[in-house]
Structure 1
Amino acid sequence: MRCSSLYVNYLLVMWVLTSGVSKAQEIPYLKVQPDRLHTAKEAEQEAKKKNDPLLLAEAFYLYGKTYVFTGDYRTAQAYYLKSLRIQEPRGDSFELSRLYVRLCESEERMGHFSKALQYARLSLAVAQRLRVDKDKALVRSYGALAHIYETMWSTQAQPRQSDFDRILSYYRKRELLCYKLKDTLGVAEVNLELGTLFAKVKDPGAIAYLEEALNLFTHNHKYGIQVNTMMHLALAYLSFGKPQQAFPILNKAEQIYADKKLNEYEIRLGLETQFVRYYEASGKWQQAFARLRKLNELEKIKLLADQNGAITRLNVEYETEKREALLNAQKKAIDLNTQNLHLHRQVAIATSALFIIAAGMSLVFFRLYRKNQRISRRNEDLVKEQNHRVKNNLQVVSSLLSLQSKRLTDESAKRAIEESRLRVQSMAILHQRLYDGDKLAEANLDEFIREVVTSVLKAYGYPTLKTQFSIDDITLTADKAVPLGLILNELTTNACKYAFPDTVNPTFSINCYRKNGKIQLKVADNGPGFGADQTNTGWYESDVAIVPVSFGMQLIQAQVAQLAGTCTFSNDTDGVGRGIVFSLEFKG
């Protein structure tokens, strides 16, 4: 009771001194960083020179950020409101949503939670109406709402689970958007926020989130937020009763703060707060008291910066009373250590159980994976066997047709049988390609086309004919390769019958390529071509074009329709006697 009374007297003295300082001299804010102030002034001068109100609003925004870093929230808020008077009448924009977030943060720091929540909701409403940079704006708005709700939840005498779930949901939405935008720093910030939140409810997973955030900020050389993350990580270790792990982190954070000359109020305030907590947890009361003095000097800035003063003053007094109680609670510290040891044992047991479950699940998944592999190999073998049998059956049909042809004496009948045999042969070639290829239901067009054309030329006595192939590396499914093979078989057969016999140096060219998602096939010969009186839908037969009711043309048209494509016949050039070009286009 005596110690508590002395400490109350100390607080009264500090309050009198604080009041006296506020009247006798300026508030002891941290120094304004010259580079930030210079950037804001340059923007303001350029805006006035160009008479650009939006640039002037951005300059006021930069001024506000500059004074936030010094802890002068009243001045920062004044600049933010100047920017708001320009931005708000111009309607929804990313900049307006961002400005509402900054206003929310300043009001929150001054203890005006209801006003801060109002600004956060305005920011979200604007962000949801945006079309440009909507996701970027939503990331900031969700973060602002989560922060203010978390601050209000932390002040509850008995924090409600429903409020915690709402905070977590906003952080998760923010996390998803950061991953969608591939925003590494945004992901790091969310990890920091989630780690801080979980540390408050003594969730061991907080450490992993904070360490991941620290790694990302360190990798990107973001020293200010790196130090802030280290403070939260140290606080998490303290919460879990590991002060020996917190101390080196705090020392390193303070060293970075000094080396990089950060000079930011919130970071300095946080460092002093965590050092006080560490020394309290370690029972080093003298060092805790020394740090507490520095902390009180910094909190004086926030106390005097509060326009109304009452809310912040009550918070400072409440926090001070809590620290006084902790300084005189050595016995409670020992009890807390005992509880932490018990908790560690429980965590170890839970971790072991999870490891056993994970090992069991891994074994189950491994067996399922092996089973699926066996099924896949079996299915592959079955498909190959099916293709092989179909190929053999087609070969048998082809052989039967060949034998039947030899027994016939009528030339027209023999020719019809031979043409049918070649059509069957083209399908057999396809199934041979499917059986020999790596892909079960797809054939390589280059190999397939060459083999179909070569087999027809050989059957008609043109094995050495000059044939030009220009075929892209294309694979085609069996349901499209069959009609394509029949078309090629028909075109090659008719070229052998009507184009090559009366040509001195017969040539045959086949071009196949993919363009704009479609496969284009061109087949050309150097035969007599169409006559001047023939239509481009005719067909060779004894140098006379016939109408498309011939079987060959009907077959080609049927296969083109099956491919859902289009085809044309034309002379190779505008002259007569230079061959025919067949063009086919279909989606492949």
Structure 2
Amino acid sequence: MPRSGSVLLFLLTTWLGFWGIPSEAQPIRVSDTSGLTHESAFGKPDTNQIRALLELGKKRLRPSYTRKANRDSALLFFRRAETLSARIGHRKWLEESQCLQGIAYLLDSNWPKGKAYFMKVVRERQERGDKAGEIRALLRMATTIFCDDCQENRVALERALALAREIGDRSQEMLILMEMGYQDFQLHTGDTKEAETKAQQVMAIQTQIGSKPLTRAYHELADGSVYKTPTEYGYLSNAYYFLSDISQARGDLNQKLFYILKVVRDAEESGQPDELDYAYYRLGNAYYELGQFDKSVVYYHKSLALSRKKGVFLVQMALANRMALTLLRQGKPREALRFLQDVVRKDLPYTYEDVLLLAQSFGACYDGLKQYSVAEMYYLRSVAWSDEVTSGFQYSAWRKISQFYVAHGQFEKASPYLTQLLAVPGKKIIPSHRIEVHWMRFKVDSAQGNYLSAIRHYQKYKTLNDSVFNVAKSKQISQLSIQYETEKKDQDLKLKGQAIQLLTEKSLLQQNQLRQATYIRNGIFAGAVLLILLLGLGFKGYRVKKHINQLLEAKQVEINRQNHALQHIVKEKDHLLIDREQLLTDKDRLLEEREWMLREMHHRVKNNLQIITSLLHSQGSFLKDKEAFAAIRESQNRVHAMALIHQKLYQADRLSSIPMNDYTREIVDYLINSFDRADIRREFNVDPIDLDIAFAVPLGLILNEAVTNSLKYAFPKGRIGTLRIEFKEEGPKIYRLVIADDGIGFPADLNPNLSRTLGMSLIRGLSEQIDGTLRITQTGGVQITLRFFEDKAPRIPA
């Protein structure tokens, strides 16, 4: 599937099938109709004949790979089935025939007729007082198509939700809320707030239902067979899939991976692995989005193996597309092409989305084989098919053909598709794809000589790229993946260890002691390396700044000399005025270069500090000693506080002052996330104060140490409390910083003013550096108050 909001569309397409249109992607068991003919479908009116008519009609609702759906023909079969059902008085088949006619009209975007057929069924259920049946009919109508702005869908869902709550059917209520959440993406132009609200409601219901599979999720069809809705799966999978799709729409691939791994773990540990085929498919997609193709293909193979074993292929078309793309990423275009050709030869029923994606995959295969004209033909075919699908897939077709043209230098052909993509509302395309569009537009404009436009798109590309894909998120994604793989390996080792015990208790103890000594030695070495790197970065920054100042001073002397000479040379006034203006122009240019160099310096310092953070994280992942690991994590937090200073400097218009309101909030939020204490409440009372970097750095480190101490010691054993941060200007250049918590306070035998711990020593040392007055009190918790005067330059400790 493409990386846009198509994950949501895929779920809805699958769910649509659960309510009415059988396909290879849905676990519906019906009799084989391959031998049916038009003649066998007409004759003595009985249920077998009606079923045959419906099956013939349903085959024409979907396209094949080479031809479009024939819904006019499908309607003829459905109408004949309706007539026969009415003649023999079979109510179930009559309603099924009417629903399928409604589906055929809805798929052709004929809402009045489609709704009219469904309302026949709804009114029949209302007359019988069958509220559960009315819910199913309304859901079937609302999930038949997923258009860009279907208010009729919303009305039907709201009615179904009210009925589900009236009869107390929590599983149906959960499904309806998820569907409403998915459609909120369309009705609210991709805004995830409404959808997230629905997700929380789904999570609450799923938690109440419990972790056991829901047997009432099996529903009987008119022919007596059954099919399964997603509510069959327990372990909060529905809610987590929903939240993962919301994270995808936000561009937060880290959070998406978190939710999918949660589903996989629960399914593996539950002893009920029925949904593992779909869970592995979703996990393979998550790794594919992150560029970890070796892992993605492993889980795709697992999904395919489980699907074949069950005989049910929930995601066969989507899986085939992703498998081919993954093989291409691994540099295997011929293998990918053979895989796709085998899929197409099976002549399976497709959706229009399937056909579009298969055309793109064929295009990518031929591109990899350097058969560019054939590849272009397939990409153009996907654009042609995009008229039959929703806007999300249409954007995918435009983006893929743009990638192809830009990659081969055909900028003129790519330009109109990029123009269409840039005209799409911002939230209709996920951030990672919008970043790519700006990058391609930059390359096209540069090649065509539109340099001003190219610069604007490059700036947008950089801004979006820095905001979405930063080192912190990459670190978290790696941590999630490593954690899952480590847990899997630990489970395997545990099973093997039960059968084979090769080590005595004495040898195990010796190995643990040796390993602990190694970790401590590595931690000390890492700390020394970190210190050397920090000193090197500081010295390099000082040398660069000193060199820039020397250049500016030399140029200023030259300007002054020229100005003095102009006062004494009247006869050559015109010529000297030109020289003077040229020198002033040079001065402005140098000032601009100085500002650019300062920005670049801050940017590089920030990047270097983030690299140090990543090194510390990598070192920490191998530590078993809790104290060593805690020391590494606290060092990460200190480096992050300094890196945040330089990030804000190069992103802001000012190069020497920091907005403390945003800075304090970001430090506190980062620490709370780092210690996984989202239950701690935060109260901010920070004036809009901009501080010089010489004061902002010590204050940021003081804030880091104080909040770290509160999170570590003030709220033990899951205790909930409040962190209060206050930063006020009490007079001209006179400031007061207060960091307080309502926790358990210091131990009775600890004097904070005499404590020699690293954290308290840093707080006292940094307070002295800025000539501040530090006061630490304990009344209902701990309160640290620091007053200082900004005009006085901070003292550098000896």
- Sort the TM-score into its range (normalised by shorter chain): 0.3 to 0.5
Whose radius of gyration is greater, 1 or 2?
1
